[in-house]
Each structure stands twice: as C-alpha cells, then as structure tokens.
Structure 1
Amino acid sequence: MSTNKTLTLMEEMAVFAKVVETGSFSEVARQMGSTPSAISRSVARLERAMGIRLLERTTRKLRLSESGQLVYERCVDMVNAAQSVMAVSNQLSPEPQGLIRVSVPKAVGRFVIHPHIAEFLNRYPKIDVQLRLEDRYVDLIDEQIDLAMRISNHPSPGLMGRPLFTIEHLLCATPEYLAREGTPVQPSDLKAHNCIYLGEEPSDSQWKFHKENKKVTVGVQGRYAVNHTGARLDAVLSNMGIASLPFFTARQMLQQGQIVQVLPDWTFRTQYCGQVWVLYTPTRYLAPKFSAFINFMAERLSHEPTLASSLGK
C-alpha cells in the first residue's frame, strides 16, 4: 500500500480501533457526532483497501477476525503515537491546559483528593478535571484514563508514577458503645462484639493484626456490613459497634473525642493499607497538565497532617 493511500486511511484506522474498543458502531457514532452507518462505511473502506475481513458482524455483536486482531493492534499503536505527538505540543504550550481524567478509590477521592480540587482549578483556569470515584481495577488505555490512584506498595511495573501518601487503618468505637459492651484488650476479644466491616468478600470479616513479631487473625461478626467508609463512620457514631476506618476518615471525630481508637497497641492491616500512588502509562513526554496535577497534589498532601496517625495504625 502506497504512503499516500495509507495517509488517506488513517482516519479509518482510528475509527476501526475505536469500534473494537467499544464493540459498537452506535457508540462510536455517538462519541464522534456521526451516524452508525457512516462508521460502518468507514470500517468497510478499510477492509476493501486491505482486501481482508476485519470484523465478523452478527445481529447482536461484533467479533474480530484473526486478521482483524493483528490490524487492531497496529491501529492502537498508531493512535498512541498520535497521542504522543499531541503530548509534545502540550509540552511546548506556555500554560497547562486541557481535560484530565483521574480514577481514584471512592474514599480517597471523597475525603482526600476532592477537598483540594477547587484550589487546583483556581490555580489552573485552563485545566478541567473529571474525577471518577471507583473501587475497581481500571485499565488506563481501554478506559481512556489519564491518571489513576491506586493503593499498593508494589504498583504495576507497566506503569509510571510516584507515591503521594500512606493510608493507615484503625479500629474505632464510641465511648458510649465501649462503656455498654466493654473495651477489647486483645484482638480475640472482638469475637464478643458487633463489628462493622466491608462485607464484599469473605476475607473482609477476617481482621488481621500484628504486634512486634506476633501476628493474629480474628474472625469477626456483626449485624451490619457496608462497603463505604463514610457509612461505617456513621454507624460507629450511632453506637452500632466497632468499625475499621482509614485514619483520614476518622481523624476529626478522634480529635473531638466522639470516637476512640480500639486496640491501639496493635497494628491493624487490610488490603486497603499502604501507599497511594498516582500512576500513568509510560511516556517520554508527560503533558504539563498532568505534571501540574501530580505536583499540586503531592505538595498539598505532604503538608496535610491528617493522613497518617500517630495514635496507631
């Protein structure tokens, strides 16, 4: 295929890649402000030019042919290369600008990141932020996410980024609840208490502790399980029991004395403990808007004393 013909088909290649990613002509048409028939014709032009079938069409879904899979991978490389070119232009822009799509775990986003967004937008009037609060693994490329914050001491080697802060968890209850039900002295005492946990997986009710060289796992139970840290805090304040909370959620109520830490001599561990990293796909040129966001949050969070606890973990 000649260079000139290849250049005229680059738009069709990009459209084809988008159709594969979304699995729908209609969705691509909606995103591009076109029509499903126009998108279908675009893919058909690419198929005719290459002389191969790229998609197997049925009344319900689209499926890549064997040749289509190879072509799709090359088309994705082309789109990524074009995005790298735009990143260079952004690098040379005198002022950070454009949209940033950021995926953040729900509690971290609501209690840690969101409170700083207004100041960030005021400082950078040409940057827009789309903050997505979601407790699931996000594929940055497939879901068009620019930056992802993940709780991990060992982030994916396929991504680049930097640590922002550390999440510590602790057990909390109100003085009223403890006066009524008793204060646990050791982890095994929790078996006699109403414990408020996530309830998403069986392991959520297996609370893990360590103290010096001693490690203990306690199977807890309770009448209420809820997978939102703010809701668990509300349940604690309602004297419903003992809950696991990240320190950044509990700190204000701890400081006011409305709740107290339970088993402060023990370190409480969950899969939601550890460093919070801001990650992005590897690139030689990090756009100024991304650098601005990362540096701003790193600076703000480094001076925020409420993210780590001196009371215990």
Structure 2
Amino acid sequence: MDRLTAANVFITIVERGSMIAAAEQLEMSRAMVTRYLAQMEEWAGARLLHRTTRKLSLTDAGERTLVLSRKMLDVANDIDRVEDPQSDEISGLLRITCSQSLGQTALVGAVTQFLKQHPLVTVDLQMNNRTVNLVEERIDLALRITNELDPNLIARPLSICQSVVCASPDYLAAHGTPQHPEDLASHNCLTYSWFGKSLWYFEHDGEQSSVAVSGNLSANESVVLLAGTLQAAGISMQPYYSAAPLLATGELVELLPDYQPQQMEIYGIYTSRKQMPAALRAMLDFLVAWFASDEQWLKMMR
C-alpha cells in the first residue's frame, strides 16, 4: 500500500478524532481507512491508537509516528512545489471563526474582497465567541482578540483592538457621568463574560490602573452588551470599531476620554505552520495587508 496515502489517512484520523470522520473527509470507505491504519501499525511495529467506544487517543508510538508522518508529507509537498510552484490557482474551502462583532464590522468585508481575488476559494464563516478546538471542529482559522494568548498556539498578529467606555445619554442623565475610573465602581457596568468581568484596565499619563466593576448584566458577546448600553442599561467597555458609528451620531457618549482603556491584539490562530493549505496562507497574508490598509477599518481606529 502507498505509504504517503497511509500517512495521510493516519494524520486525518488523528485530526478528525475518528475513522468515520476521516473516511468522510477523505471520501474513502471506512474499511479502506481501517486497512491503511492497520498497514501503518504493521510498518511501525506497534499499536498507534488507543481505541474506545467514545474516542481515539495516540499511544507513545503513535505520537512518534504522527510526527514522522507529517514530516514525510511535508517533504512530498515540497517536491510538488519545486516541480511547479504556480501550477494551480488557489482553491478550496476555508472555515473561519471569530466573534460576531468583529465578523460584522471587519471580517465579512475583508473576506468579500479576498474572494474577488480568489474566486475558486469558498469561505464558511462561523460566528462564535468561545474558544474552539480548531482540530475537533474542523476550523482552519480563528480570529481572536486577546492579550493572554496561549503560548502553545500558532498565531499571527493581524491588528490591534482599541476600546472605549461608553453609555447612553439617558443613562447618564439618570445616574450621572463618571469623571475618574474609580467612579465606575458605583455604576452599573455591563461586563463581558470571558474578559474583564471584574477589572477594567486604563492608562493615563503613562501610568496603568485598574478598577473593579460590577453590574446586573453580563454576556459572552460584545454586541449584546452594546445593545444593552443603547437601552440605558448601564456602562460598557466596547471595541472602538463597534461603538464608533454610535458615538458619531450621539446615540452613545464616550466616557473618561483622558483614560485609555487597555488595548488588545487581534490574532489569526491556526493549527500548523507546516502542511498549510495555499488558501489559508493566502488568507493570512491578505488579512495582514487588509487590516493595515483598509480605509473603513482605519476609520474605526483612534
């Protein structure tokens, strides 16, 4: 049996988490997938996977074989690129996930432009604000806004996310306007479930400070808190790109303009620098350039 194909089948089983899922991904019968796995174990001289009714996990031999299998496919892919690096136009499916706010404000516009340049690529956007397992959920690229990136993740910086503390005129008329960050402790602050639920950070004249905030409404998506802020439910810290249009119309009021909320990084997260599909590499390169040059995005930056 072909060792390259067997290695690819083994890698796919591990990444997809089951032989059934691997068979579907590879458009191969389950019996054939089982045969390739058996052949891999025969070549390795050891069991590669622990099999239970619920999941598969790698043995020690399987861990080593996975590394070697990926190297083998990398070499094969490099040979293909040497023969004809411009042989095919970029194509394929990309599954991308990000928060609803970033998706609506930025990503859909960037993806639309990308698809005009690469019409053979198909993009499936998944709006999801929780941290997803890219392998288990078959995600090619996750855009995340964070200052606490897991060092084990493979990430490419794309841009920055600036924030603004804001409230509606009706809320301020009823409850007063905070003049200093510590005043926020006595206000109803709408907090983000996954970040900054207890502390909001600020910088003023080169010095950093934090204030403990609380309120009666939290959510895992900033657009929900933005809607609540518009309804005079309280004060929220929003991505500037989301709040900017509402600040311009006066529907929201910027608070504490002399105190800069903590700025965060926007990253593109993916599973491997090796065996990266050409469409994913092109998308990452495109997003870096888009965030640095798109006029509409830059207008939403301070």
- With structure 2 as the length reference, what TM-score do the two structures score? 0.82
Q: 1:298 — aligned with what? A: 289
Is the 8 Å Cα contact of residues 121 and 279 (structure 2) preserved in structure 1? Answer: no
Is the 8 Å Cα contact of residues 96 and 289 (structure 1) preserved in structure 2? Answer: no
Is the 8 Å Cα contact of residues 278 and 294 (structure 1) preserved in structure 2? Answer: no
Equivalences for residues 165-204 of structure 1 within 5 A: 165-200=159-194, 203-204=196-197
Q: 2:205 — aligned with what? A: 212
Is the 8 Å Cα contact of residues 160 and 282 (structure 1) preserved in structure 2? Answer: no
Counterpart of 2:223, as a letter, is: G
Q: Which has the larger radius of gyration?
A: 1
Aligned equivalents of 2:83, 2:104: Cα separation in 1: 33
Counterpart of 1:218, as a letter, is: V
Aligned equivalents of 1:190, 1:158: Cα separation in 2: 35
Is the 8 Å Cα contact of residues 87 and 286 (structure 1) preserved in structure 2? Answer: no
Percent identity of the aligned residues?
30
Q: 1:3 — aligned with what? A: none
Q: CA, structure 1 residues 62+293, in 2 after alignment: closer, same or farther (shift >3 Å)?
A: closer
Give a deviation string over 1:167-190, Cα, whole Å, max 9, x none. Answer: 110111111110111000111111
| Structure 2, unpaired ranges of 5+ | none
Could you tell me which of 109, 116, 135 is aligned with 1:115?
Answer: 109
Q: 1:62 — aligned with what? A: 56
* Paired residue secondary structure (1:92): coil
Work out whether 1:274 is the aligned partner of 2:264.
yes
Q: 1:223 — aligned with what? A: 216
Aligned equivalents of 1:152, 1:81: Cα separation in 2: 35
* Paired residue secondary structure (1:197): strand
Work out whether 1:264 is the aligned partner of 2:274.
no
Aligned equivalents of 1:41, 1:289: Cα separation in 2: 31
Q: 1:232 — aligned with what? A: 225
Is the 8 Å Cα contact of residues 13 and 19 (structure 2) preserved in structure 1? Answer: yes
Q: 2:73 — aligned with what? A: 79
Aligned equivalents of 2:56, 2:90: Cα separation in 1: 39
Aligned equivalents of 1:91, 1:289: Cα separation in 2: 16
Could you tell me which of 98, 106, 111 is aligned with 1:104?
Answer: 98
Give the C-alpha shift of residue 95 in structure 1: 4.3
Please provide the CA RMSD for this pair.
3.4
Q: CA, structure 1 residues 160+55, in 2 after alignment: closer, same or farther (shift >3 Å)?
A: closer
Aligned equivalents of 1:132, 1:82: Cα separation in 2: 32
| Structure 1, unpaired ranges of 5+ | 1-6
Aligned equivalents of 2:124, 2:229: Cα separation in 1: 32
* Paired residue secondary structure (2:232): coil
Equivalences for residues 8-87 of structure 1 within 5 A: 8-85=2-79
Is the 8 Å Cα contact of residues 164 and 277 (structure 1) preserved in structure 2? Answer: yes
Q: CA, structure 1 residues 15+182, in 2 after alignment: closer, same or farther (shift >3 Å)?
A: same
Give the C-alpha shift of residue 248 in structure 1: 0.4
* Paired residue secondary structure (1:245): strand
Q: 2:241 — aligned with what? A: 248
- With structure 1 as the length reference, what TM-score do the two structures score? 0.79
Aligned residues: 298
Give the C-alpha shift of residue 111 in structure 1: 1.6
